[in-house]
Amino acid sequence: MDEPKPIILDKYTMYGYNSAYMHNLRINDEIDLQILCILQEKARIPNAEVARQVGMAPSAVLERIRKLEERGIIEGYEVRLNPHPFGQGLAAFMFIEVDPTANGTLGNRLATLPGVQEVHQVAGPDGYLVKLRAAHPRALGLIIRDQVQTLPGVRATHTQVVLDTIKETRRIALESPAE
């Protein structure tokens, strides 16, 4: 039996996705999108409940999820932990100005440091934006002074301490906000 052809939905065009991009993702239909929305909301939901919500047999839903994983659309499942009980309640964002003579491995070195949660290469005078977590300002200072600023290729750092987090998510917008 032939696999269903991907359907390009108008809402993707609205978000700037083009047909070729969606075809490469191989989202087959609205049911795949429903499954993705359900899993983003609650990754530990039983397969039978996902099947009930989309109106399909559990085996068919399991097969769809497996294919979404194989294609890299679903990258994995993770638990969101409260950082405070683990002594990592202080969050900060650090802009790192990179020495132009650096050999391009700074991002990978930053990613290995304890307390570093995210490393983003950015445009502009700063080469990287890094999200860090630490127990308190002194611990953050030690990470910056003893680990980050000593790395070859770091010219300067500028750090902003987070006072309050209003929203923090890894969810991807799959539906139009009007829906």
- 157: domain CATH number is 3.30.70.920
Q: Which helix (H) or strand (E) holds 80?
A: none
Q: Is residue 2 part of a domain?
A: no
Interatomic CA distance for residues 133 and 90, integer angstroms: 6
**CATH code of the domain covering residue 34:** 1.10.10.10
* pLDDT tens per residue across span 59-73: 999 999 999 999 999
pLDDT digits (tens, 9 = 90+) for 136-145: 999 999 999 9
Tokens of 144: 């910056």
For residue 131, report the phi and psi dihedrals to the nearest 5 degrees: -100, 130
Element housing 66 (H / E)? helix 58-70
Element (H, E) at 85: none
CB 73 within 8 A of CB 22: no
Is the residue at 78 inside a domain? no
Distance in angstroms (rounded) separating the CA atoms of residues 159 and 144: 9
Domain extent, residue 26, equals 10-70
pTM exceeds 0.75: no
CB 98 within 8 A of CB 153: yes
Residue 16 has pLDDT above 90, yes or no: no
Mapped onto helix, strand or coil, the DSSP state of residue 140 is helix
